[in-house]
Amino acid sequence: MRVGVFGGLGRLGTEVVALAKSYPGINEILIKDSKQEKNKNFISFDEFMAKSDVIIDTSCAEGTKTLIDAISSYSLVQNINGHKKKALIIGSTGHKSDVKDIVDDILNIVPVLYAPNAAQSLWYFLRSVTLLAKTLGPSWDVHIKDHHHKHKRDTPSGTVMYFIHHLESICPWLHKKIQWNSVRAGTGMILNSVLFSGNNEIIECTHQVLEVGVFAKGLLDMAHWIKECSPGYYDIQCYINYQEGV
């Protein structure tokens, strides 16, 4: 499998590239990043598209839009339906609109997985938090906090936004009532906490990632799966269901 890393010179992208070099089943790694534009020998979008079986997007919201436009243009020129299928994983966050709407134009030709957080254990954490919210009921308030390194731009994180939307869909009484705050400090900590406040009682649930390599491994694990999927939109829950044989 040939993996293209879009944003491959960034913090997460470099981790994905480094891990991919020893990851089973990957025989070529391609890097595309806006920082390469200063180098006359940088890889072109056409070459990046042509050679990549799976593209992992670790850029930013603006970068994702550029990538989607490039995939759409490449599809029209190359008639991608007659070529080897491509697949895309979006690991960027900070999007101003729903990611499914952003990728809508390519869903008929490319399987797209949106993974705002590639730590698989986090999604089991969300499942537990959701069960707790349902069990506690409307009398408990919910507050979500994320603590990321000082270089992360978007607040709240894509993970927090996903948590809010998911909890609101399962627990209607929480609609527009979930509070949140974000901390951007330090260099290593990546922490997501959900705080439940009741009548003189507090329950705090926390998930913490100590190294960005956890996300890199998650993205590469997902690459093998999404490569075999049919064109369309997939979220992280689809991947978790696959892992569990659902």
Domain harbouring 47, CATH code: 3.40.50.720
Residues 168, 108 within the same domain: no
Residues 35, 111 within the same domain: yes
Q: Are 203 and 195 in contact (CB under 8 A)?
A: yes
Phi-psi region of 139 (alpha: psi -120 to 50; beta: other; left: phi over 0): alpha
Residues 59, 109 within the same domain: yes
Helix (H) or strand (E) holding 50: helix 45-51
Q: What is the structure's pLDDT at 56?
A: 98
Alpha-carbon Rg for the chain in angstroms: 19
Helix (H) or strand (E) holding 162: helix 158-170
Residues 103, 220 within the same domain: yes
Residues 199, 103 within the same domain: no
Task: Mark the ranges of the chain whose per-residue pLDDT is less than 70.
Answer: 37-41, 75-84, 246
3-state helix, strand, coil in the chain (%, to 5): 45, 25, 35
Domain tally, the chain: 2
Residues 127, 141 within the same domain: yes
Q: What is the structure's pLDDT at 80?
A: 47
CATH of the domain at 174: 3.30.360.10
Q: Are 137 and 196 in contact (CB under 8 A)?
A: no
Residues 133, 176 within the same domain: yes
Q: Which domain holds residue 127?
A: 120-209
Residues 191, 230 within the same domain: no
Residues 135, 186 within the same domain: yes
> Can you tell me which residue has the tokens 């050679």?
51
- Confidence (pTM): 0.87
Residues 112, 20 within the same domain: yes
Residues 112, 128 within the same domain: no
Question: In the chain, which ranges are E strands?
Answer: 2-6, 28-32, 54-57, 87-90, 111-114, 141-148, 179-184, 190-197, 202-209, 232-235
On the 0-12 / 13-18 / 19+ scale of CB atoms within 10 A, 176 is exposed
Residues 33, 111 within the same domain: yes
